[in-house]
Structures are given as C-alpha cells and as structure tokens.
C-alpha cells in the first residue's frame, strides 16, 4: 500500500487533508522546510520540529555529490543521519542539474554533467535518480524531470514536457513499491495551457499517488503562475495531494491553497533568515535597518519562537550588525515558525469554511505595516 491522502474539509477549491505515510501523518496544507544537504540551514532537528514542521525536503543532486547515496544508506538512511524520523520528500535532482551543474549534456536517456563543487563528472538518468532516492530512504520520491527554462518558446516547452513525460514513466518503472512510500509525477508545460493540460492528463494514466506542479515561480510572475494553476489543477485527481514546487511567499501560498494546492517547499524563509529578513504579521522586516537599533519590542508579538519570546528587535539588529551566527539562527527559527503558523491558520480556516476571510485579514496586516 502506497501513501494515502484523505480530504478532511473543503472551502471552495481549497482542501484540508491528511497524508498518511510510513513515517507519520501530515496535516495539509503543509509547508516543507528545505534541508538540501541533510540539514535545514542554521537549525537543529529539534529546532525544526519546534516550529511545527511535519515533513522536510532533501535533495538528490546535493546528497549524491556529498556524502553520496551509498554512504547515507550505510548510516541508516537520511532519517537516521539527520535525526528526522518523520516524513522526508526528496527532489529528483533535475532542477539542480539545470541550475547548478556545469557542462551539461542532455540526451533522451539522461544528463551528463560536471559537479559545481569539484568538476567531477556524473550521469543522472531516471533510474539512477530513483535508486539514489531509494538509498536515501525518501518517504516521497519525485520523478526525474527537466525543469523547462523560462522564458521558453512553445516548441521548446513541448519538447521539454514530452521528455519529462518519458522520464516519468521510466521513474515509475524503477520505483520500488513499499508500504507508506510514494512517487509523485510532475506536471510541466511552462506557461502554455495546452501543454499543461496534456502533461497532467498523460501523468494521470499512470496513477501516481501524488502530483506536483513544476516549472513555475521561475520568473513568470504571480498572476501568470496563478493562471497556470487555474488551468492545471482541474485536470488533477481530487483524491491525491497536489504539490506546488519551489513556492513561495506567504501571499503566493494563500492564493495557491485557495486554488487547491496542498503542499509547498521553498528556500525563501531560511534564506531570508540568513540575510536579516523576517516574515511577520506586519510584513517583511529587514533587521539590519537602523530603525531597529533601539527597538525593545519583540519582533512579532504573536509569535512563540525564541527570537520573539526571548529577545528584542534591537538585539536581533545587534547580532546581524556584528555578524554573529546567532542572528541567522534565531531569524531562521522565526521565519519557519511563521510559515508553519500560516499553514496551520489556513487549515483551521478551511475546516471552518472561512479561508477568504482569513486571507483578507492576513493581507490587511501585511499592507498595514509595523505602525498599526
């Protein structure tokens, strides 16, 4: 039996559900902190758990380069190695091959590339990607796809989408079925409605236990991203989870959940935490700003994280000005807590059929700013 998803409640197109896996249940909508190399940057596993995170993301490309999939397997798998017994989703590595690797040579079988770390040569095929994810012991694996560059002509997008469909079938055939584990297909097609529809309908023939929407949040803008979701989501089954890859801002997620997306991941909250930017109920603050130097208020009074419950804005400002590592640690902790609180708030609102009201309240707070 693979992973299963159950709808607990709906509000328009928005869904609150439960995803059951070999490593525990996940209440949706859900945000997955990115743990690229087997760690969520600047966070211990206990700290990540304290934010309310239920599932984290690992990455095939980075972990195949170091320490290597065989070494992770010898250590008991990624769950044991990084002290995360809960669910883990692994990206297939396709996006990183396109964005980071050097001297790529792609053919119908796979892609050969040089590591961005040391120039060593590697080969990634659908079968190899699935094998690596199996050795990592990923709860949810992703098919290998080509993340279509943006912008792309319709012909380029079609060729890329068709290659991803062929690789999806090969990934499915290579996947080892186990109770509580699953493989997600990925819808591609750039910003072309007919290609998105064709990609989704083709993937449905193979009955993946979950479906991801890839190739968005790559420069097309929020309006176009939402229009592609409006086109794509009606073609995906209602009894399977939908995952929007690499998204995003709090407002992006509000809009995507309202359209029927269940799962998200993004480096934004952790990267922002390392660069002094804080997501709060009153918008995004830059803690390097001089106006916080003598501000003794908590960063976000409604937040329970250590940055807000134990420290002041002035102290956080001081840490970043002095380049102390505690600053990024505390602010990453805060941002992930904020993101998890946002997802929990959306779930409660969906179950109460009040998502639109909840979204309006959140947006009013962001627009009002710190002076409200």
Do 72 and 63 meet the contact criterion of CB atoms below 8 Å apart? yes
Do 29 and 261 meet the contact criterion of CB atoms below 8 Å apart? yes
Q: Pick the closest to residue 238 from 49, 34, 46, 7 (CA basis).
A: 7
CA–CA gap between residue 73 and residue 75 (Å, rounded): 5
Do 234 and 211 meet the contact criterion of CB atoms below 8 Å apart? no
CA–CA gap between residue 89 and residue 182 (Å, rounded): 9
Contacts of 322 (CB under 8 A, 6+ apart): none
Cis peptide leading into residue 67 (ω within 30°): yes
The residue behind tokens 């994280």 is 305
Do 349 and 31 meet the contact criterion of CB atoms below 8 Å apart? no
Catalytic residues, by residue number, are: 91, 265
SS (H, E, C) 330-371: HHHHHHHHHHHHHHHHHHHHHHCCCHHHHHHHHHHHHHHCCC
Q: Helix, strand, or coil here: 5? A: strand
Cis peptide leading into residue 230 (ω within 30°): no
CA atoms within 13 A on the CB side of 234: 8
């Amino acid at each position: 039996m693979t992973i299963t998803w159950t709808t607990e409640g709906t509000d328009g197109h928005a869904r609150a559900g439960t995803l059951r896996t070999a490593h525990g249940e996940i209440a949706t909508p859900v945000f997955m902190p990115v743990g690229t190399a087997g760690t969520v940057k600047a966070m211990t596993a206990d700290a990540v758990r304290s934010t309310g995170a239920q599932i984290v993301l690992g990455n095939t490309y980075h972990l195949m380069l170091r320490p290597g999939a065989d070494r992770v397997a010898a250590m008991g798998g990624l769950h044991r190695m990084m002290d995360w017994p809960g669910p883990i989703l692994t990206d297939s590595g396709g996006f990183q091959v396109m964005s980071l690797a050097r001297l790529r040579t792609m053919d119908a079988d796979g892609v050969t590339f040089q590591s961005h770390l040391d120039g060593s040569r590697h080969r990634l095929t659908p079968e190899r990607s699935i094998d690596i994810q199996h050795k990592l012991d990923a709860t949810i694996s992703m098919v290998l796809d080509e993340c279509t560059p943006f912008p792309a002509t319709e012909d380029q997008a079609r060729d890329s989408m068709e290659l991803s469909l062929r690789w999806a079938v090969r990934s499915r055939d290579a996947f080892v079925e186990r109770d509580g584990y699953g493989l997600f297909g990925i819808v591609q097609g750039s910003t072309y409605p007919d290609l998105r529809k064709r990609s989704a309908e083709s993937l449905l023939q193979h009955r993946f236990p979950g479906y991801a929407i890839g190739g968005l949040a790559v420069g097309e803008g929020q309006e176009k991203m939402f229009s592609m979701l409006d086109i794509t989501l009606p073609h995906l089954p209602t009894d399977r989870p939908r995952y929007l890859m690499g998204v995003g801002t709090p407002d992006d997620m509000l809009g995507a959940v309202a359209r029927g997306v269940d799962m998200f991941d993004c480096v934004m909250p952790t990267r922002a935490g390392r660069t002094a930017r804080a997501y709060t109920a009153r918008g995004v603050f830059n803690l390097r700003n001089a106006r916080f130097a003598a501000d003794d208020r908590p960063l976000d009074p409604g937040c329970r994280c250590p940055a807000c419950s134990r420290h002041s804005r002035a102290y956080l400002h001081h840490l970043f000005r002095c380049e102390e590592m505690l600053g990024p640690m505390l602010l990453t902790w805060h941002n992930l807590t904020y993101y998890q609180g946002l997802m929990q708030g959306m779930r409660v609102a969906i179950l109460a059929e009040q998502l639109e009201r909840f979204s309006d309240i959140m947006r009013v707070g962001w627009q009002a700013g710190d002076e409200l």
